[in-house]
Amino acid sequence: MNIILLGPPGAGKGTQARYLVEERGMVQLSTGDMLREAKDSGTEMGKVVAEVMAKGQLVTDEIVIGLIREKLETVKANGFIFDGFPRTLAQADALGELLEFEGQTLDAVIEMEVDDEALVQRITARSTCGSCGEVYNDITKPIPPNGKCSNCGGTEFKRRADDNEDSLRTRLMEYYKKTSPLIGYYYAKGNLTRIDGLGEIDTVRGAIAAALDK
Ligand code: AMP
């Protein structure tokens, strides 16, 4: 089963993708993570994307489609979770073609709906474990008092360079202008399910499971 998690920055796509990986043995393909890796490794491509990402703008379709193409060609999986991809209509068309070429289908698109105020609160309070990527929130899910990650015991936590209010404003505008048209695109194809992304993590988890198992 191949699925897309669609939603604005801070909707909880990464958090829910991690559960699906654990529970269903699927493989998470996050273009954001791939781009951050490229940035950290200091490659030419990394240098090009670093500035774009810091501003909260979208990286070119050509680059992200290339990253996804490479994964689909080389990784064998019991289903992919596309997290943060596609973000434009051109990317959505390309994903359809790539899956078809690989003899695969797109089985569900889960739209996670969260209002802007909650997104700003979530993102400006967000940090992740430097070892395993577990996501924390200063208010709703603080780092344990002993300073150790509850998942892996790691002691280093980081905040994303683009998790600040300026960059977030641009990221939200990019979402509404370029990504939200995908809601209609997948609705028309008949594989869109909208869920409320504002609830407790486990409630959202249950709603996604129900959508995938129906
Ligand atoms: P994310 O981790 O999904 O929030 O992505 C972080 C940043 O990486 C975004 O703000 C964009 O600059 C870039 N990015 C990630 N995925 C894509 C994509 N599919 N298309 C264009 N830019 C992307």
136 CB under 6 A from ligand 1? Answer: no
Strands lying side by side in the sheet with 157-158: 135-137, 126-129, 157-158
Predicted local distance difference test score (pLDDT) of residue 42? 85
Beta strands in the chain (DSSP E): 3-6, 27-30, 80-83, 108-113, 126-129, 135-137, 157-158, 192-196
Per DSSP, the three-state class of 183 is helix
Q: Which of 24, 160, 194, 205 is catalytic?
A: 160
Ligand 1 lined by 85 (C-beta under 6 Å): yes
Contact 126, 108 (CB under 8 A): no
Residue nearest to atom 10 of ligand 1 (CA): 56
What integer pLDDT is reported at residue 161 of this predicted model? Answer: 87
pLDDT at 45: 87
Atom of ligand 1 nearest to the CA of 60: 21
Using most ligand atoms within 8 A of CB, pick from 18, 45, 53 the residue to mutate for ligand 1. 53
User: Could you give the percent of the chain with pLDDT greater than 90?
Assistant: 82
Mind listing the pLDDT tens digit for each residue in 143-171?
999 999 999 999 999 998 899 888 999 99
Both tokens of 8, joined, read: 């604005």
In the predicted model, what is the mean pLDDT of residues 90-108?
96
pLDDT of residue 214: 85
Of 4, 33, 35, 126, the one to substitute when testing ligand 1's pocket (max ligand atoms within 8 A of C-beta) is: 35
For residue 84, with 0-12 CB atoms within 10 Å meaning exposed, 13-18 middle and 19 or more buried, which class applies? Answer: buried
CA of 58 to the centre of ligand 1 (A): 6
Q: What's the CA angle centered on 193, arms 192 and 199, to 5 degrees?
A: 145
Q: Are 29 and 87 in contact (CB under 8 A)?
A: no
Supply the pLDDT for residue 206: 97
Each residue's pLDDT tens digit, 170-209: 999 999 999 999 999 999 999 999 999 998 899 999 999 9
Q: Is 36 a catalytic residue?
A: no
